[in-house]
Amino acid sequence: MTYWVKILYERKEYVVNFERVHAFCYERNGRVTFWLPDSAIPIVINPQSNLEDYQKVLNYLECVTELELNYSHWVKIIYEKNEYIINLDCISSFCHEPNGRITFWLPDATIPIIISSINNPESYQKVVKYVEKATGYFLS
């Protein structure tokens, strides 16, 4: 199922299939960032300058986060004081370090997310459970 949305950004029109967007970042200041599929181009939407498109993004995120209860691949992760909503099915590698931290890279964004069980236990457990369920491997 596709979820096409028309977004105006920097005086350009984008028509984006949100089903292909794998990560969104909701910042404390209210801005929402996502990266166009198959590129590293960030789209940053804020309610002050583009309320209509901002609402389109929030509507999609509401739909996806409701699915989190039923489908474990979409997760909310708090990282560096921002809330990321990530489709873990689209992450191609996870790195478990000897100190216990887990690193993975957002697709299309090349941004590393580094979490530990000490300062982000809830997000850490979501990722550990996903890796075990999806791959059969246990991170020790």
Place of tokens 């580094």: 114
E strand or H helix that includes residue 75:
strand 74-79
Asked, for residue 116, whether it belongs to a domain, the answer is no
Q: What is the pLDDT of residue 72?
A: 56
d(CA 101, CA 41): 28
Instruction: Say whether 116 sits in a helix, a strand or coil.
Output: coil
d(CA 114, CA 78): 11
Residue of higher predicted confidence among 12 and 110: 12
Query: Taking the CB of residue 98, how many other CB atoms lie within 10 A of it?
Result: 5
What average pLDDT does this structure show over 97-103?
93
Q: What is the pLDDT of residue 48?
A: 92
Instruction: Say whether 33 sits in a helix, a strand or coil.
Output: strand
Asked, for residue 36, whether it belongs to a domain, the answer is yes
Give the number of domains in the chain.
Answer: 1
The dihedral built from the CA positions of residue 122, 133, 34 and 63, taken in this order, carries a sign that is: negative
Q: What is the pLDDT of residue 68?
A: 55
Phi first, then psi, for residue 18 (nearest 5°) are -65, -20
Q: What is the pLDDT of residue 78?
A: 86
E strand or H helix that includes residue 125:
helix 121-135
Alpha-carbon radius of gyration of the chain: 15
pLDDT range class, residue 120, cuts 50, 70, 90? confident
Asked, for residue 50, whether it belongs to a domain, the answer is yes
Segments forming the whole domain that contains residue 54: 4-67
Asked, for residue 16, whether it belongs to a domain, the answer is yes
Count CA within 13 A, CB hemisphere, residue 65.
14
**Structure-token pair, residue 66:** 């409701």
Asked, for residue 33, whether it belongs to a domain, the answer is yes
pLDDT in tens, 57-85: 999 888 877 765 455 588 888 888 899 99
